[in-house]
Copies of this chain bind each other. A is one copy, B any other.
């Protein structure tokens, strides 16, 4: 039995089987609803309006024809998630800085003119072509994929033995991935992709010129099946769910490719190579590898190094014979995005001892230099990305990123991204907020609210709270506030990151002072106020000049790998040389974590400048 379901205001009608959930019906209609819990019925984000009121789409099974209206804030709005200029991604310089890596891209085009065969020289088309290629690139072990070989004879003859050959490194040899008739004047292109759990960013790279032509980003479409890595793993633990998730990430990437290609008037065949970096779960889902055991103790991924595969094996919309590289991972929770970040920041090529911190849902931390690399992952939770915080939001227009509190009146003044009316608080705003609330005495060292006299300090039915923006000034028509529980969440997050840093240092029996550089990677890096971050005990108390924001190093590492075979080989070396410290073993981490659940820390001697 089938029923019609109409979604408003889109006015899209789909036919579905009796018993289908409304959430699934929406996805058939190509409408993406928020669903942080992956359809478990717990997050409440997929609410839709029907005649009788609001329903959770995930828990509503269709047993009649119906009409449902999608409220704005239930919809996963693509426009909102385009990586803004503010996020630092689009402001990255077009030229990719290769630093020490030689510019020998994974793929290159060469223009070849071969002799026509004659009765005296009638060796095969392929062997005559090989001889000409060897003249240009030297005698190398050269392979050709069958589909390219199939078209070879005609391509060679179409423009009287002039062809443009694309040679792509396949991990061990050079492979001919395309043979076009004539001497093409166009460059050779690759695409770098950062596969994030929440957002996916892609960069179109001109491999000859060594520049990124354009970058685009979007939501990871998998988000409709759960917000975080754990809910994705659960969904992907059976074959059907795995296929669904793989299809969604492939579609997400294809959409980005399509956007880049149509904007730059290119064909999918023009792209001969892709490098992707993502956390270990994302890499598994991208390749269709079951992520089940990543979540179960002892947290074992299927693989940390991934085979180079052909685009058509995955259904990616580039040259079907093009090759797809996936950055190697280190462990279940230190993935290819971190290896890519280490590559991009040259840590493994320098003498200086560097601390690399990527704060997202997981805080991943790397310490080392050209001699050794050590890493760990601490469950920082999604607080700094706005998750689990009442008015938390990602860094977007209207997000509070800075706050001042008058120490006598407790009146506030906020700065928002693009100066828009406030709609929430992003990571940097939250850090600033705690720092300032602590400074003026609204909260104590443990994050508990103090008895201060201000109309802004209130109670709702569950919790104490501090109003940052009154309803009349906000973009939401309601008060924007932070609760005591929000503060405790944030303290747990910052404590986990700091304890991770301490654990790594103690493992190698070093202390802060020997660290030469601290690199802060990830989305919110560009807005983080280091003073505030030190003041709340998120970052170690070291001289300002040692800190550096490095932005989306995962994407940059992929761009660099596209442009340098040596860089790709270095990525493989990084993956192998990096030691992973499992923080759940022993008491080290828990001890450090407990000590870090204060502002800034129980041990104030660690934070001399805060006093």
Residues in chain A within 8 A of chain B (CB atoms)? 117-127, 141, 143-146, 149-150, 152-154, 171-173, 287-290, 292-293, 297-307, 309, 313, 329, 331-332, 580, 582, 584-585
Contacts of A171 in B (CB 8 A): 143
Q: Is the CB of B146 within 8 A of A305?
A: no
Contacts of A119 in B (CB 8 A): 297-299, 582, 584-585
Copies in the complex: 2
- A118's nearest neighbour on chain B, judged by CB, is B298
Q: Is the CB of A299 within 8 A of B126?
A: no
Contacts of A307 in B (CB 8 A): 143-146, 149
Contacts of A306 in B (CB 8 A): 149
Name the one of B141, B153, B305 contacting A293, with C-beta atoms under 8 angstroms. B153
Q: Is the CB of A300 within 8 A of B150?
A: no
Q: Is the CB of A303 within 8 A of B122?
A: no
* CB of A211, distance to nearest CB on chain B (Å): 31
Contacts of A141 in B (CB 8 A): 172
A-B contact list, 21 entries, CB within 8 Å: A117-B298, A120-B582, A120-B585, A121-B298, A122-B300, A122-B332, A124-B302, A124-B303, A124-B329, A125-B301, A125-B302, A126-B302, A141-B172, A143-B307, A144-B303, A146-B309, A150-B290, A150-B302, A153-B293, A153-B302, A172-B173
Contacts of A331 in B (CB 8 A): 122-124
- A127's nearest neighbour on chain B, judged by CB, is B304
Q: Is the CB of A122 within 8 A of B302?
A: no
- A288's nearest neighbour on chain B, judged by CB, is B150
* CB of A389, distance to nearest CB on chain B (Å): 31
Contacts of A288 in B (CB 8 A): 146, 150
Bound Cα distance from A293 to B128, whole angstroms = 14
Contacts of A329 in B (CB 8 A): 124
Between A117, A143, A307, the greatest number of chain B beta carbons within 10 A of the residue's beta carbon is seen for: A307
Contacts of A299 in B (CB 8 A): 119, 122
Q: Is the CB of A152 within 8 A of B303?
A: yes
Bound Cα distance from A143 to B305, whole angstroms = 10
* CB of A145, distance to nearest CB on chain B (Å): 7
Query: Top 10 closest A-B pairs, CB basis?
Result: A126-B303, A122-B298, A124-B304, A119-B298, A117-B300, A124-B301, A153-B302, A117-B298, A124-B303, A125-B302
Q: Is the CB of B146 within 8 A of A300?
A: no
* CB of A405, distance to nearest CB on chain B (Å): 44
Bound Cα distance from A169 to B348, whole angstroms = 34
Q: Is the CB of A123 within 8 A of B582?
A: no
Q: Is the CB of A122 within 8 A of B313?
A: no
Extra inter-chain contacts (8) besides given A122-B582, A124-B329, A126-B304, CB under 8 Å: A122-B298, A122-B580, A124-B331, A126-B303, A127-B303, A146-B287, A149-B289, A150-B288
Contacts of A153 in B (CB 8 A): 289-290, 292-293, 302
Q: Is the CB of A303 within 8 A of B582?
A: no
Between A288, A290, A300, A307, the greatest number of chain B beta carbons within 10 A of the residue's beta carbon is seen for: A300
Bound Cα distance from A594 to B126, whole angstroms = 36
Bound Cα distance from A299 to B125, whole angstroms = 10
* CB of A313, distance to nearest CB on chain B (Å): 6
Contacts of A332 in B (CB 8 A): 122
Bound Cα distance from A172 to B504, whole angstroms = 40
- A242's nearest neighbour on chain B, judged by CB, is B150
* CB of A153, distance to nearest CB on chain B (Å): 5
Bound Cα distance from A74 to B162, whole angstroms = 48
Bound Cα distance from A332 to B122, whole angstroms = 9
Contacts of A582 in B (CB 8 A): 119-120, 122
Contacts of A125 in B (CB 8 A): 293, 300-303
Contacts of A580 in B (CB 8 A): 122
* CB of A415, distance to nearest CB on chain B (Å): 44
* CB of A42, distance to nearest CB on chain B (Å): 28
Contacts of A118 in B (CB 8 A): 298
Q: Is the CB of A313 within 8 A of B126?
A: no
Contacts of A117 in B (CB 8 A): 298, 300
Between A287, A289, A329, the greatest number of chain B beta carbons within 10 A of the residue's beta carbon is seen for: A289
Bound Cα distance from A228 to B582, whole angstroms = 67
* CB of A283, distance to nearest CB on chain B (Å): 11
Q: Is the CB of B152 within 8 A of A302?
A: yes
- A175's nearest neighbour on chain B, judged by CB, is B307
Bound Cα distance from A177 to B585, whole angstroms = 36
* CB of A133, distance to nearest CB on chain B (Å): 14
Assess A124 versus B290: contact at CB under 8 Å? Given A141-B172, A172-B172: no
Bound Cα distance from A567 to B30, whole angstroms = 56
Contacts of A304 in B (CB 8 A): 123-124, 126-127
Contacts of A120 in B (CB 8 A): 582, 585
* CB of A132, distance to nearest CB on chain B (Å): 15
